[in-house]
Structure 1
């Protein structure tokens, strides 16, 4: 789920272990996509291909697209067709009946560029089904990361893009889309492996500077009163933006 223009470099093994909840919680956007056998579908930000494979099982002709070579190698091991590239610079023209994206768009800061590329990639009447981090996503976690980074005199390197309904609708329509459905969905997400494992998997690039391990420990300690229950269970404060848009 990585794209150019972000500091995150993915550990494919760790992602498959500690990030397995990401595709596991992707059924809602798969339902929105409603793939049909014989359709051509682009999975934008396909990661290690777990959901790409589920789309392929419907009989659709699916291509996985991601910027991270390690994750794409895992997708290839599943027997999937993949292509490496920046989701902010798609070069397809009238090629797909649908574009699907789960938990990837927020890693591509230039959303207008993504929407323009997706619009070009779709055939007339094609659809774009997407779920990503939305406005307010992991707000407590991002605040703690920033506080710890600033305490150490370092750049928090927080360049992700979590759009509101209003902004996403405006930018999709500016690209030519008709937005059929769009909503923010709060989704408190249990972290079975804890906050430190989550930070090491999804934010290790933010702590690649000196003292990274100590900074992760400080961030975890800072978050415990808000996101850890008395039994020691962690829950991340996820908010997801989900939409379906059409190229008329």
Structure 2
């Protein structure tokens, strides 16, 4: 991957030149006050530090929304978009294959998600310790967060490949896409909603089954299958958009 120029460009811009640092600063600036306010607003007495039962849930949901939101924006190249070379340059002028470009973009998205999770993890572990959350619940939460970020983030890559020259259209689409999916999943079958699923898991609530074709399907299986299909569809669309002609 080090020899891939698309990968090197993203790494240099975000970490070498520091253009990605505001992304991670925003992440911390939002997450830290939310944790602080969740801990202290209900009560200002000395017993506050013994732990708020909802502290970890609030922190986990906040981290989930932030990771997904910034994964979509980073994948969509919304930060310093003028510094990225267009896809036409890599695919036509430099002779890079669509597979190589796709792999570099996905790997950089994974690197961004991993670094974001690394920044969020101390806050989540601290919140879990105060709220006396079981270690297993903390571990599962730390596994679910990058999973959701990747599933929705690949749609940012697909949007970039489809409408590269239409930045404003891409920005509107990915926000509408994520908000629309969250609302529709809540209306159709609540366990499909990532926020509702995470809250139910942390609250140890049993998920209602989905009755389809006269057969009940376990809520956990439906949730995971839905997100695997959603992520695979976004990735397939991304690959197709990179390989099509012409590139818009």
Q: TM-score range by the shorter chain?
A: under 0.3
Max radius of gyration: which structure?
A: 2
> TM-score under structure 2 normalisation?
0.24
- Structure number with the higher strand fraction is 1
> TM-score under structure 1 normalisation?
0.24
